[in-house]
Structure 1
Amino acid sequence: MGRYKLIALDMDGTLLNSEHEVSDENREWMFKALDAGVTVMLSTGRGVQNVYPYTDKLNLNTPIVAVNGGEVYRAPRELLVRHSVDVESIRAMHAMAVRYDTWFWAYAVEGVFNKETWTNDLDSLQWLKFGYFTDNDESRAHILNWLQEQGRFEITNSHPHNLEINPLGVSKASGIAEVCRLLGIGMSEVVAMGDSLNDMTMIRESGLGVAMGNAQEALKAAADLVTVTNNEHAVAQIIRDYVLAD
């Protein structure tokens, strides 16, 4: 086996193309890496309920980092660790969404809730992540400033117009570090690929941090290299040229 023993893949904008599908080329090279003894895993802002359709279809039985590190799984449906958001923080973040009239959503262990399906029974649920989406730059800036003032949140995005919030210190990198401990390897042996600011920590802390050609500019600036877009089989290219290259 070569230098890299773990490949951590963001889903939307990275592994998945614009049709939200895994290309045949990406799938082929993912399994070439697996056959070579390299662990290939998903590291995503999605909750597992929106990850399992892909792991099931791919027959991918490897670790998962979900909700930006809020949950880490040894394998699909085998929880390793969970980091919850306290209910008072959820209540406060919801109040800010209402104040600025933004779209919002939140992942809980029990399901996904948003502006149209919100629940008032907050205390009975175990919360994992809160998110805002708005095209109004001023509103988003006010919310961001408020979040930063709280000093207890990890604040990222998966799109230039959204904000995603986890407990401070919980990130894709912290989740991958849990997987590394499980596998007995170091972060220097990880290849991480992503396109948005919720990928920043894993891009910076992995041995090889790869930004997509369609990535946000800040991520490109932080990455070790920039590859092609998610519609050009970037995962296949990186595995071929950097992970399995002779």
Structure 2
Amino acid sequence: MIKLVAFDVDGTLRDRDFLPESTRLALQRLKDQGIMLALCTGRSEFEMTSLREELDIDWAITCNGCHIGYRGKTVFGTAFHAGTIQEWLQHADQLKHTLLLYGAEGMFTNQQHAPYFLQAQQEIGFMDPILLEKTDKVPDIYQCIVFCDGEQEQLYVGEERNQYYMHRWRTWALDINPSGMNKAVGLQKLIDHLGITTDEVAAFGDGLNDLEMLQSVGMGIAMGNADESLKPKARYVTRSLREDGIAYAVDTWIL
């Protein structure tokens, strides 16, 4: 019996500002059956506040598994070493790269109105980050997005690239997370905290950063609009987001 369902956000629960009414109703049916819900996303806790509250979801696993919050309050967190972030900020300043840094209670950047960031903001939506001055103390950071191409990423991860979890979601944009972290690791921490088993968990996703999560749970479900290389790794493939894919899967396989 499924006791917890985890949802990726972009491309799974919603497409920019579009969230199907059928999805809202399906989430309510899950809650009516006593099933717990969690967001599980590469975005930050700060960005997810309004959606989590709108959908009345208690748990959010954010920053590709590096931060776990309950109603917005940190329960578990795996942050970068502060020296690493300072070093990356120096690189970015020299190379004129834009960094987007995810903390628990805010998003930060080294430069505003940069072209790649503005393009990402237009394509998938980002809240406006806080500009970091060189003298500012940087808070705990759980994820860094570097707006650079594949060759330039070496300037940040170098020979230690295996020490990070990386997800390139555009040719010019790369998520970097601390060593050993991904959505499956974050979700497992929540599973252990709740005292349930992986067989009692279902998860929905559409992107390659959902791969480990879908393979780690009892019922991994890929969206119909998912990356084609993700679909064979899932237990089920549902319809697309805009074809009521969440509702179809909830009624067909979970309830």
TM-score interval, normalised by the smaller of the two chains: 0.7 to 0.9
Give distance in 1, aligned partners of 2:232 and 2:226: 10
Q: Once structures 1 and 2 are overlaid, which stretch shifts more, 211-220 or 75-84?
A: 211-220
What's the C-alpha RMSD, in Å, of the aligned pairs? Answer: 2.3
Q: Once structures 1 and 2 are overlaid, which stretch shifts more, 86-95 or 192-201?
A: 86-95
Instruction: State the match for 1:84 in structure 2.
Output: 79
CA-CA distance at 1:160 after TM superposition: 5.8
Q: Against the structure 1 CA distance between its residues 217 and 160, is the aligned structure 2 distance closer, same or farther, given a 3 Å change threshold?
A: farther
Out of 185, 196, 199, the residue aligned to residue 185 of structure 1 is: 196
The percentage of counterpart residues that share the same residue type is: 26
Letter in 1 for 2:141: W
Letter in 2 for 1:65: I
Q: Against the structure 1 CA distance between its residues 212 and 101, is the aligned structure 2 distance closer, same or farther, given a 3 Å change threshold?
A: farther
Contact 1:5–1:190 (Cα < 8 Å) also in 2: yes
Deviations 1:64-90 (A, max 9, x none): 1011112112x3123211111112222
Q: Given the two structures, how large is their TM-score scaled by the length of structure 1? A: 0.85
Aligned residue-pair number: 235
Instruction: State the match for 2:140 in structure 1.
Output: 126
Out of 145, 152, 157, the residue aligned to residue 147 of structure 1 is: 157
Contact 1:6–1:40 (Cα < 8 Å) also in 2: yes
Q: Against the structure 1 CA distance between its residues 146 and 77, is the aligned structure 2 distance closer, same or farther, given a 3 Å change threshold?
A: closer
Q: Where do 1:101-116 residues align within 5 Å?
A: 101-114=96-109, 115-116=111-112
Q: Against the structure 1 CA distance between its residues 208 and 112, is the aligned structure 2 distance closer, same or farther, given a 3 Å change threshold?
A: same
Instruction: State the match for 2:45 in structure 1.
Output: 48
CA-CA distance at 1:164 after TM superposition: 0.8
Find the residue that maps to 1:217 and give its secondary structure.
coil
Instruction: State the match for 1:242 in structure 2.
Output: 253
Deviations 1:9-46 (A, max 9, x none): 011111013x4232210010111011112112111111
CA-CA distance at 1:110 after TM superposition: 4.6
Give distance in 2, aligned partners of 1:193 and 1:110: 26
Unaligned runs of 5+ in 1: none
Contact 2:45–2:104 (Cα < 8 Å) also in 1: no
Instruction: State the match for 2:115 in structure 1.
Output: none
Give distance in 2, aligned partners of 1:163 and 1:142: 10
Instruction: State the match for 1:21 in structure 2.
Output: 18
CA-CA distance at 1:226 after TM superposition: 2.4
CA-CA distance at 1:93 after TM superposition: 3.3
CA-CA distance at 1:218 after TM superposition: 2.9
Give distance in 2, aligned partners of 1:233 and 1:100: 44
Instruction: State the match for 2:9 in structure 1.
Output: 11
Q: Against the structure 1 CA distance between its residues 120 and 146, is the aligned structure 2 distance closer, same or farther, given a 3 Å change threshold?
A: closer
